[in-house]
Amino acid sequence: MRYFSLTFAESPETIHMSRVRLACLMLSLQALFLNSQSPTQAADLVVFGNLGADANGALGTTNTDIGTGSLVAANWLAQGFDTGSSTYLTIKSVTLGIFGSDSTTIPVSVSIYSASGNDPGTELYQSSVTPVGNTGLYNFAFSNAVLQPGTSYFILPDSGSWYYRGGPPGNPVAQYDSGYSYVSTRESYDTGASPAGPWFATDSRYAFAVFAVPEPSTILLTATGISLALLASKRKRRDND
């Protein structure tokens, strides 16, 4: 006994509609993925600093007073870094090891400055104010602070007493292969109400960590690449049938 089977080839219109439906599905998945990566849900990553991968390193006993209330040492301190080829360009927060007061708290904010040669240039972003009391690690949140790749910046607090990192690593380094790199640490003795030069090189051990997330465009490109790969794979299978 013989058995017969019939296979009906899909028309070009049917194949085209299948691809359209798949493309629409992939775009919908992209939208859901991007929506899940909202600022409140995206995981912040330590991209640079000397407090370790979890930004919880110990502080030392050496410190420098900063801000307009400082009458000794440097009045302004700035930690510099370069974003290199990193895609983690949206700064979410900065953690500093600082002291404010042992009896109350003082308001402290941190600014991100552009680089002008080896020195801080123009203020670009300022964090929200954080009350700072006894010596410890304090976090300063930023909103819409988007940096550029291959560009140098400086972190400047406006008050407090900035502590050295206790133990290794003393120098700030890239974390999680972020692509960030160290530029320099600068200090100024200017007594004005805002940071100003002349600036001088100083020790790089001041404790800090930079938290960032990838640019939304990077996430979109990744999702789009996955969609195109799936479409190409499906088309190849059909062509081989």
Domain boundaries defined on the chain: 13-38+219-240, 45-213
| Band (64; pLDDT cuts 50, 70, 90) | very high
Does the pLDDT value for residue 161 go beyond 80? yes
d(CA 203, CA 82): 18
Residue 142 or residue 231, greater confidence: 142
Q: Which CATH class is domain 45-213?
A: mainly beta
Looking at the whole model, is its pTM more than 0.85?
Answer: no
- pLDDT for the residue 191: 86
The phi and psi torsions of 232 (rounded to 5 degrees) equal: -65, -40
Q: Identify the helix (H) or strand (E) that includes residue 219.
A: helix 216-240
d(CA 119, CA 201): 9
Q: What's the N-to-C CA distance of the chain in angstroms?
A: 28
Residue 219 token pair: 């996430």
Does the pLDDT value for residue 226 go beyond 60? no
d(CA 139, CA 44): 13
CB 24 within 8 A of CB 128: no
- pLDDT for the residue 33: 45
Mean of pLDDT values over 224-236: 50
| Band (234; pLDDT cuts 50, 70, 90) | low
d(CA 45, CA 157): 21
In one-letter notation, the amino acid at residue 204 is: S
State how far the alpha carbon of 151 is from the alpha carbons of 78, 83, 103, 146, 147, in Å. 16, 6, 40, 12, 8
d(CA 111, CA 203): 20
